[in-house]
Amino acid sequence: MKQIILVPIDNRPVTYVYPQNIARIAGIEALAPPRQIMGSLSHDASVDAIHDWIANNLRKHNPEAVLLCADSIIYGGLIPSRRITTGLAQLLERAKLFSQVKKINARVATVYAQSSIMRISDNYDNTEEKAYWTRYGREIFAWSEMLHRTQAVGDNHPDDKTQAGKLQQLEARIEPSVRDDYLSTRNRNFELNRKLIDFVEAESIDLLIFSQDDSGQFGLNVLEKERLLDEAQRRGLNNVIAYAGADEVICAMLSRYLLASLKKTPSVKVSFSPATGASITSLYEGQTIGESVQKQLAAAGLVAAGGSPLTGNDHVAAAGSPLTEGNGAGSPDLHIIIHTGDERQGDHIWLPDHLDLRSVNTRNAVESTLKLLESSTSPVILCDVAYANGSDPALVEALLEKPGLLEKLWGYAGWNTTGNTLGSAFATGVARWYAEQTNVGPQATKALKDALFVRLADDWAFQTNVRSHIANNASTDQLHQLMSPLLTKISNALGHQPGPIQMRLPWQRTFEVEIKLPDSLMPIL
């Protein structure tokens, strides 16, 4: 059995467990550090222990690919990357691990890396930020946006003085020491990201993805993305990419690895449901859903029939060996259906001072999606992005009444942001297609059923239905009481009985739930 090494962004179910589930569909053994040494909400990852684990497993095994999250290796996780005060010199020393992987084991063919561009959240929630976010969060977001706008306008522009005046007003609302600390942290992280480009140029990293979560159209994070891409382009590197996403990126890297190892890609058809869904604004991403689809396709190594998946300033090339597009004659190998709202994207989470989008019209979209599923003659990857932070209840409830349509699914997701949903769903479908190409056998079907069960249980049963009825300290008994009837509906519709299930809130908050199936190899937190 082929082996790969995965070091995710932290130890949450969607980042630590689910990518390993996808690898199981493909018949790949994914080696990951012990879960207890990975970062969480309450503690940083043990960086030294992760470094030692990587080195030991490179010597003990012969993995074909090593997929690494720089945030875990350098900072101790995604959240610590925004909080820790460790100096640049020490962090640069940790980053040298990327130059050592292929030296420790020369048989490693592929090293992919993810590194986050520090986010800017438009709220006052400091759960994942420094303490001052409760007082200055939205002010920092507005100030950052204006800093970018001011630079975008440029000198001698008619709006230059107006923009400068607004910038001064926004700066005055933030304590100078807070501004200085925030910029210092951003600059440190930016310099580390620039250093990672050196490792790409030295061929120690074969693909580098800069991930960008919780973003608007403007902001220092967007400006940094542009500068990093410009730097890569200046050096002639087409294997450095950046796009909106974070938690799903290791799934996208897994998809790229699977396709690169086959040296071919499936033929792909993409349908938006409704057809106008591509132009709907994607929440938390600063772009349209259509733009998100194009960039996530490229990140996963997929090309849709009818054109290039690239847009704007982003430049993406296939990682590893050259890929050849699959045979486009007849039915495509994969049919990707993007289910959106009729007019706008909803959000199952409502934050004070923001528009309440907990109920949006999806009637026409559901009807269109069901028709597309019924008429499709290819395996379907269903991307449910009608809402952020959960599934479209109207769609899933209709699907649960039509088990024949569920049988067509080789991938489903409907969690958190558009990018999170797309990247994980694409990778699930690619893994199932890879299993067909490599004759993995019945275990691929079982593993896919497990993956579909978990996604429907998490994205629909929990996120859409149960989450709003529980508190951060909800007990396991309460979770089982609320979830069990919904899980029974999913199990009956899928024709899949996974057996006794464990559930809990792994980070003691309602943002994520853990649904552990009985044959899972991963310990529950």
Place of tokens 């012969």: 62
Spatial CA neighbour of 98 closest among 189, 203, 212: 203
Residue 342 located in a structural domain: yes
Q: Which domain holds residue 386?
A: 262-438
* Contact status, residue 272 vs residue 339, Cβ threshold 8 Å: no
Same domain, 514 and 390: no
Same domain for 454 and 381:
no
The three-class DSSP label of residue 14 is helix
Residue 208 domain-assigned (yes or no):
no
In a domain, 224, yes or no: no
Q: What is the pLDDT of residue 305?
A: 85
List the helix and strand counts (H, then E) for the chain: 18, 16
* Residue 12 CB-density burial (10 A; 0-12 exposed, 13-18 middle, 19+ buried): buried
- Shared domain for 486 and 428, answered yes or no, is no
> In terms of domains, do 350 and 456 share one?
no
Report the sign of the C-alpha dihedral through residues 143, 421, 349, 189, in that order: negative
What is the C-alpha separation between 150 and 157, in angstroms, rounded? 10
| Predicted model pTM | 0.93
Q: Report the alpha-carbon distance of residue 521 to residue 244 in Å, rounded.
A: 30
Same domain, 313 and 426: yes
Burial class (CB in 10 A: 0-12, 13-18, 19+), 343: middle
What is the DSSP annotation of 371-398?
Answer: HHHHH--S-EEEEE-SEESS--HHHHHH
Question: Do residues 419 and 313 both lie within one domain?
Answer: yes
Question: How many structural domains is the chain composed of?
Answer: 3
pLDDT of residue 308: 41
Residue 154 falls within a domain, yes or no? Answer: yes
pLDDT of residue 327: 42
518 and 390 inside one domain? no
User: What confidence score (pLDDT) does residue 161 get?
Assistant: 64
- Sorted by sequence, the CB contacts under 8 Å of residue 107 that are 6+ apart come out as 62
Taking only the tens of pLDDT, the chain with its 525 residues reads 899 999 999 999 999 999 999 999 999 999 999 999 999 998 999 999 999 999 999 999 999 999 999 999 999 999 999 999 999 999 999 999 999 999 999 999 999 999 999 999 999 999 999 999 999 999 999 999 999 998 865 545 555 667 788 999 999 999 999 999 999 999 999 999 999 999 999 999 999 999 998 888 899 999 999 999 999 999 999 999 999 999 999 999 999 999 999 999 999 999 999 999 999 999 999 999 999 999 999 999 999 986 443 333 333 333 333 333 444 457 999 999 999 999 999 999 998 888 999 999 999 999 999 999 999 999 999 999 999 999 999 999 999 999 999 999 999 999 999 999 999 999 999 999 999 999 999 999 999 999 999 999 999 999 999 999 999 999 999 999 999 999 999 999 999 999 899 999 999 999 999 999 987 656 666
Tell me if 351 is assigned to some domain. yes
Computed on alpha carbons and rounded to an integer, the radius of gyration of the chain in Å comes to: 22
Is 448 found in the same domain as 431? no
Q: How far apart are the first and last CA of the chain?
A: 27
* Residue 522 structure tokens: 């991963």
